[in-house]
């Protein structure tokens, strides 16, 4: 690679990071504290991530010391965060203005003291908690964004030519809009999405790299991503071993030595061991036998549940694009996306998958098959245990990390070939426009949800404004900036990362 090309590559990489940072930060700051799913649960758990601390997380009075779930004392501002507008799509976030910074401690049982989830995410995030509640919550969100972007920068530095574009394309095509909202939130799903969504790439690169420094950095990246996934949600401890097995399979013939194959098998086994230990130590360790709704019953037969869910399961997966009614929607599942968003995203994804499926070799086909089986079997099994149907208990976001890796495997084989997907300039423009418009529409309705409630239809976000942080520019300006920033990210992915050059040729020139 010539010096000029290196400068251009650095410039486009820097532009990608800056644009992504701006776009994700707009998502973070334009959603109120407590707006993410079960927001108060996660905030209470973050405030108590290091155990009891004066003024932040304290023991309850003696008469409440032995409750189950355990009672803790946290500031009323986080204990009640989101409660006044959750499930009330017509209400703005203005209702919590008088309580959000209130620091008097109140007892609550809506927390992770029973270790329902692993404590890794909460422990790390708790170090960002300070005096101001809003400031602390926003710092956690920005930290989650920086983790994602930092790992992407590392991946771009060490990854083989096909891996990074496959990764960024998978994140773009499966995270708009739900994934972007979650990554820029206080919900532990942020770490699960980042961890699983990038683990496959670092692990694949570590197995195939012939340069010691790049291999070492890839193993470091894989370890960080695995720790994020298993330290944030129980399903992360299940997904990481599954992804490791798939990556080992699709990378097998490209692993440069028998010794590295042994290392790959050992690493895959280690992910399974760590995942099993993490799962068994969590408060959901009985969910694989008793379900997520243990002790309750919907009064349905196994055959009834299986039959209905066979018809409704496609809606479960489409829910990651914001279609309501299938355990989806942003916020507390109370912010449905408009058809413009999910139709454009589903159409773009379907077009790329249809083209890429023709280029898969037998290993990638098998890997895709295993991932599809896992994506279908895991939620179907959990629905059966609970006697639930799609839209009850098990939300679409739970399977999003696996769907992200599934699309990445589709993309990986395709970007290794000349002129991936046979994308003409016209098709690249169409895809860039579709994703950019879908994202802009999603960001607009998410902001409208909290600024005034969804009973206001005006495109002018300044109209009927009831809630908005005073330290931010106007809602319209933030929306325009966030939309343009993600448009730049989309353009760079389709026009710069997804190139028409063969990776082999690029390496030969350098």
d(CA 174, CA 172): 6
Most confident region among 212-226, 269-283, 493-507 by mean pLDDT: 212-226
The pLDDT value recorded for residue 502 is: 42
d(CA 137, CA 130): 9
- DSSP β-bridge partners for residue 75: 105
Most confident region among 54-63, 114-123, 459-468 by mean pLDDT: 459-468
Q: Does any domain span residue 509?
A: no
Q: Does any domain span residue 71?
A: no
Contacts of 448 (CB under 8 A, 6+ apart): 454, 456, 461
The pLDDT value recorded for residue 69 is: 81
Give the mean model confidence (pLDDT) for residues 255-272. 96
Model confidence over 71-104: pLDDT tens digits?
Answer: 999 999 999 999 999 999 999 999 999 999 998 9
Is residue 4's pLDDT more than 50?
Answer: yes
Q: Does any domain span residue 54?
A: no
Is residue 229's pLDDT more than 80?
Answer: yes
Q: Could you tell me the CA-to-CA distances from 246 to 239, 250, 261, 374 in Å, in that order?
A: 11, 6, 14, 11
Q: Does any domain span residue 389?
A: yes
290: pLDDT confidence band, cut at 50, 70 and 90?
A: low
3-class DSSP state for residue 90?
A: coil
Q: Does any domain span residue 242?
A: yes
In the chain, how many domains are there?
Answer: 1
The pLDDT value recorded for residue 505 is: 37
Q: What is the pTM of this model?
A: 0.93
Q: Residues 390, 312: contact at Cβ < 8 Å? A: yes
- DSSP β-bridge partners for residue 67: none
Is residue 284's pLDDT more than 90?
Answer: no
Backbone angles phi, psi at 16, to 5 degrees: -60, -50
Q: Does any domain span residue 126?
A: no
d(CA 337, CA 442): 6
Give the mean model confidence (pLDDT) for residues 478-492. 97
Is residue 296's pLDDT more than 90?
Answer: no
- % the chain with pLDDT above 70: 92
d(CA 260, CA 6): 31
Q: Does any domain span residue 272?
A: yes
DSSP single-letter state for residue 53: B
- DSSP β-bridge partners for residue 108: 72
Structure tokens at 475: 């809602």
The pLDDT value recorded for residue 448 is: 97
Is residue 374's pLDDT more than 70?
Answer: yes
d(CA 163, CA 207): 12
Write out the residue range of the structural domain in which residue 451 sits: 3-38+135-290+300-504
d(CA 125, CA 188): 10
Lowest-confidence region among 158-162, 198-202, 285-289, 385-389: 285-289
Which residue in the block uniquely carries the two structure tokens 């989309």? 490
3-class DSSP state for residue 57?
A: strand
The pLDDT value recorded for residue 307 is: 92
d(CA 284, CA 112): 11
Model confidence over 301-330: pLDDT tens digits?
Answer: 889 899 999 999 999 999 999 887 777 889
Which residue in the block uniquely carries the two structure tokens 């084989």? 413
3-class DSSP state for residue 106?
A: strand
Structure tokens at 469: 């942080």
Model confidence over 17-70: pLDDT tens digits?
Answer: 999 999 999 999 999 999 999 999 999 999 999 999 999 999 998 888 888 888
Q: How do 105-108 and 72-75 pair as beta strands?
A: antiparallel
- % the chain with pLDDT above 90: 71
CA nearest 403: which of 163, 148, 166, 174?
Answer: 174
DSSP single-letter state for residue 312: H
Structure tokens at 414: 């395709």
Contacts of 445 (CB under 8 A, 6+ apart): 335, 337, 338, 341, 454
Is residue 510's pLDDT more than 60?
Answer: no
Give the mean model confidence (pLDDT) for residues 379-391. 88
Q: Residues 107, 66: contact at Cβ < 8 Å? A: no
Q: Is 43 exposed, middle or buried (0-12, 13-18, 19+ CB in 10 A)?
A: buried
Q: Does any domain span residue 94?
A: no
Give the mean model confidence (pLDDT) for residues 156-181. 94
Residue 72 is inside which H or E element, if any?
strand 72-75
The pLDDT value recorded for residue 353 is: 86
Between 143 and 298, residue with greater pLDDT: 143
């Amino acid at each position: 690679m010539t010096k000029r090309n290196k400068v251009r590559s650095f410039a486009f990489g820097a532009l990608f990071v800056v644009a992504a940072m701006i776009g994700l930060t707009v998502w973070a700051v334009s959603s109120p504290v407590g707006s993410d799913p079960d927001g108060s649960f996660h905030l209470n758990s973050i405030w108590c991530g290091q155990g009891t601390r004066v003024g932040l997380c304290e023991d309850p009075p003696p008469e409440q010391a032995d409750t189950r779930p355990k009672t803790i004392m946290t500031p009323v501002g986080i204990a009640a965060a989101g409660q006044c507008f959750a499930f009330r799509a017509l209400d703005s976030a203005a209702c919590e203005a008088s309580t959000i910074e209130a620091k008097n401690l109140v007892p609550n049982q809506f927390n992770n003291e029973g270790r329902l989830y692993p404590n890794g995410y909460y422990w790390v995030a708790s170090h960002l908690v300070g005096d101001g509640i809003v400031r602390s919550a926003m710092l956690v969100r920005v930290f989650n964004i920086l983790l994602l972007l930092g790992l992407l920068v590392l991946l771009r530095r060490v990854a083989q030519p096909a891996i990074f574009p496959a990764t960024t394309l998978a994140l773009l095509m499966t995270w708009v809009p739900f994934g972007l909202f979650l990554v820029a939130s206080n919900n532990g799903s942020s770490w699960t999405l980042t961890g699983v969504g990038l683990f496959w790439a670092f692990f694949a690169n570590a197995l195939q790299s012939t340069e010691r420094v790049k291999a070492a950095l890839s193993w470091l990246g894989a370890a960080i991503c695995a720790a994020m996934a298993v330290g944030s949600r129980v399903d992360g401890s299940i997904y990481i071993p599954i992804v490791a097995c798939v990556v080992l399979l699709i990378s097998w013939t490209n692993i440069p030595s028998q010794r590295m194959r042994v290392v790959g098998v050992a690493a895959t086994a280690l992910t399974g061991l760590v995942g099993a230990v993490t799962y068994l130590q969590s408060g959901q360790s009985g969910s694989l036998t008793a379900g997520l709704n243990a002790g309750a019953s919907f009064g349905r037969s196994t055959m009834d549940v299986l039959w209905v869910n066979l018809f409704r399961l496609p809606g479960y997966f489409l829910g990651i694009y914001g279609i309501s009614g299938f355990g989806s929607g942003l916020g507390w599942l109370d912010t449905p996306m408009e058809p413009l968003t999910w139709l454009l995203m589903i159409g773009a994804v379907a077009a790329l998958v249809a083209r890429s499926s023709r280029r898969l070799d037998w290993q990638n086909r098998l890997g895709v098959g295993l991932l599809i089986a896992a994506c279908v079997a895991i939620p179907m099994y959990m629905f059966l245990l609970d006697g639930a149907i799609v839209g009850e208990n098990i939300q679409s976001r739970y399977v999003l990390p696996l769907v992200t890796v599934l699309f990445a495997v589709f993309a990986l084989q395709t970007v290794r070939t000349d002129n991936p997907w046979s994308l003409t300039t016209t098709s690249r423009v169409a895809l860039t426009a579709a994703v950019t418009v879908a994202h802009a529409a999603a960001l607009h309705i998410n902001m409208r949800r909290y600024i005034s409630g969804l009973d206001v239809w005006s495109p002018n976000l300044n109209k009927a404004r009831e809630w908005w942080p005073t330290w931010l520019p106007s809602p319209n300006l933030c929306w325009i900036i966030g939309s343009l920033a993600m448009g730049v990210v989309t353009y760079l992915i389709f026009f710069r990362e997804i190139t028409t050059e063969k990776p082999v040729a690029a390496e030969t020139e350098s």
